[in-house]
Structure 1
Amino acid sequence: MSLYRFSGRTPIVGAGGYVSELAMVIGDVRISENCYIGHGTVIRGDYGTIEIGPGTAVEEGTVIHAPPGGTCRIGKSVTLGHGAIIHADEIGDYALIGMGSILSLNAIVGCWAIVAEGCVVKNKQSIPEKVVVAGNPARIIRNTEPRDVEFWTRVKQLYVDLAHRYLKEGMEKID
């Protein structure tokens, strides 16, 4: 694991949580149990606090940062897609943040909301629960449907299982 203490703040990782040795987790970061923190991810709790709920997947290349004295709360079973940039105040349980999306300062995303790939949730924007948003800035395009919940529930479990596989098998560098 690539965990770094900074300014007296030490990251914490719960049981069954996997943090890639190619990720950087710095400072006041609390990662709950059964999370997947992918390769190339940067989670900076250097002057703010980051809380990641159980079963959450932070996919490769994602950046998470909290503002000075602030807290970025990410709920349980959230999926943060590859290359997302997260500066939000809160992401609700089971939300999905699509690949390459940007959540600006003070943004809030509700439970089971889906933020489409490449979407921009602007400063202080609030996304209600159970909606799908897309565009720049983010706009509601429809409500979350049962097919969304069914599909993303399976994907979320894949990442919990992947975390456990990495913990069990590890990675082997090939020279």
Structure 2
Amino acid sequence: MPLYRFAGRMPVVSERSYVSEAAVLIGDIRIGDDCYIGPGAILRGDHGTIEVGLGTAVEEGVIVHAFSGSVCRIGKSVTVGHGAVVHAENIEDYAVIGMGAILSLHVKIGFWTIVAEGCVVKNRQIVPGGVVVAGNPAKIVRDVEDKDRKFWLWGKQLYVDLAHQYLREGMELVEKDCGMPKS
């Protein structure tokens, strides 16, 4: 797992969490239990601190960077979708950050909030708990419903299970021809 010390700060990752060999963790980063950090994810705690709570998935291609001297807290059971950019100050428990969403500096995302795919949450914007936001800039479009919670609890468990499977089984590099017959 690629962990980099920077300015005397070093990532700390729970042994119960999976961090892809293709992810990059730099500086002051703390990853809790049962997390999944996917290939291509970059977490930069070079100027600030990044905390990732229990059971959180930081999917492929996500960039997380803590603002200078601050803490970027990502709560427990949060899903950060593929390709999202996170400069947020706080993402509360059970939030969902959609694929390609952008959370600017000092953003705060509430408990069980869903940020839609491609949404842009502006600098210092505070999004309350239990709502769905979409657009650029982010605007509340509706309340989170029971069906949303049910679906996302399933999805969150899927990534916890996937992290444990990767830890148990590992991955095997496949030769270039992938076993295909030669012509």
TM-score after normalising by structure 1 = 0.99
Letter in structure 2 aligned against 1:131: V
Letter in structure 2 aligned against 1:26: I
Gaps of 5+ in 2: 176-183
Q: What RMSD in Å do the two structures reach over aligned CA positions?
A: 0.5
After TM superposition, the runs of 4+ consecutive aligned structure 1 residues lying more than 6 A away are: none
Q: Offset at 1:15? A: 3.1
Percent identical among aligned pairs is 63
Q: Deviations over 1:25-50 (max 9, x none)?
A: 01000000000000000000011100
**Aligned ranges 1:152-171 → 2 under 5 Å:** 152-171=152-171
- The secondary structure found in structure 1 opposite 2:16 is coil
Q: Does residue 106 in structure 1 map to residue 106 in structure 2?
A: yes
Alignment partner, residue 21 of structure 1: 21
Alignment partner, residue 88 of structure 1: 88
Aligned equivalents of 1:79, 1:27: Cα separation in 2: 22
Aligned equivalents of 1:33, 1:3: Cα separation in 2: 17
Letter in structure 2 aligned against 1:50: I
Letter in structure 1 aligned against 2:109: V
Alignment partner, residue 149 of structure 2: 149
Gaps of 5+ in 1: none
Letter in structure 2 aligned against 1:40: G
Aligned equivalents of 1:7, 1:174: Cα separation in 2: 37
